[in-house]
Structure 1
Amino acid sequence: MRRLVLTLLLLGSGLAHAAELPETDWLELMPKSDQKALEAMPEIDHNTPEASGTFTEKGGLKQSKGLPAVMYSSKTVASMNDRHIRLGGYPVPLESDAKGRSTLFFLVPYPGACIHVPPPPPNQLILVRYPKGLKLDDIYTPLWVTGTLKIEKVDNDLASAAYALEAEKVRVVQEADL
């Protein structure tokens, strides 16, 4: 009995990290056919109109014409619908509360998406709803977002997304996470 109690105490000390969901990979949100198309895609030229703009301009996250079809893909993975996930990414703020905390934002897989490089395809953009809000210093701050993922087409002046997530927890990635 004593050994069981000691084992439980030792295991309990690591429960904070063990309770966190494993990380979902962005590629899990993309059908295999899209993954293969991305692998075969030619190098993208960064001298685009987006390079001198910002994500806040109307259509700033929209795809420019002439990119390979996979860059416009809104194909989703059905098994991801209603899945409880933890995903790392970068915010593109859309709305904030009276205290300046971001309550609605797009989550993208890499920093600076849409500023100096073409934006990700819609199946690599997630609209995050987080009523609690999070104070964001800048869009280069990596985040962990945990919540329930939904297949939901979102199309606004800024971007098109194929998924939405009702976030229960959003936190800045810490050095200890890496």
Structure 2
Amino acid sequence: MRSLSALLLICFALLAQAATPELDWLELMPASDRKALEEMPEITHDSPENTGFSDKGGLRQGSGLPDVMYSTRTVPELNGKRIRLAGYPVPLENDAKGRSTAFFLVPYPGACIHVPPPPPNQIVLVRYPKGFALEDIYAPLQVEGRLAIEKTSNELADAAYVINAASLRLITEDNP
């Protein structure tokens, strides 16, 4: 009987995960921004001393990059929607045990730290009060929770969305 209960719990967990849609990063951008991004000339990802960076972190508006690189335009239909989103963490806050409780989730590794940050509508602030041990910022995570349109700004970057995470997990070869 105990194994049947465990099997049912696993089935319910898988069904709940399947019921939460996985969002693609480009779905966070309005169609006009996706089009502008596709038509944008290639930018180089030089060091933070590049003239495109502000001395306070992030990109400086007016540095010659197209406006889409600073876009905070969002997709209103996503506000309040429960989603799953995979990306890379940029740590912001830790608890007393050193576990990460707030971080930016970004679509590619090293964003906001070693290369120009993505547009604000491609950065999601994740709040996870339970905290988790962040051992590698180059290891992808999948976050699940309710997405909210909320603009946030700090010295690293600006974000146009927030997720109060219900759960998160490390993506590995064994656990894609």
**1:158 CA displacement:** 2.1
Quick one: distance in 2 between partners of 1:94 and 1:58? Answer: 18
Secondary structure of the corresponding residue to residue 175 of structure 1: coil
**1:159 CA displacement:** 1.4
- Structure 1 residue aligned with 2:3: none
User: Which residues in structure 2 correspond to 1:120-139 (within 5 Å)?
Assistant: 120-139=118-137
User: Which residues in structure 2 correspond to 1:1-178 (within 5 Å)?
Assistant: 14-20=11-17, 21-49=20-48, 59-60=56-57, 62-64=58-60, 65-178=63-176
- The one-letter code matched in structure 2 to 1:63 is L
Report the TM-score when normalising by structure 2.
0.84
Secondary structure of the corresponding residue to residue 170 of structure 1: strand
Gaps of 5+ in 1: 1-9, 52-56
Quick one: distance in 1 between partners of 2:175 and 2:125? Answer: 24
Quick one: distance in 2 between partners of 1:165 and 1:78? Answer: 15
Gaps of 5+ in 2: 1-6
The RMSD of aligned alpha carbons is 2.2
Segment drifting more, 116-125 vs 79-88: 116-125
1:120-156, Cα deviation, whole Å (9 max, x unpaired): 0000001111000010012101101000110001112
Segment drifting more, 110-119 vs 12-21: 12-21
Count of residue pairs the alignment pairs up = 163
Report the TM-score when normalising by structure 1.
0.83
**1:63 CA displacement:** 1.3
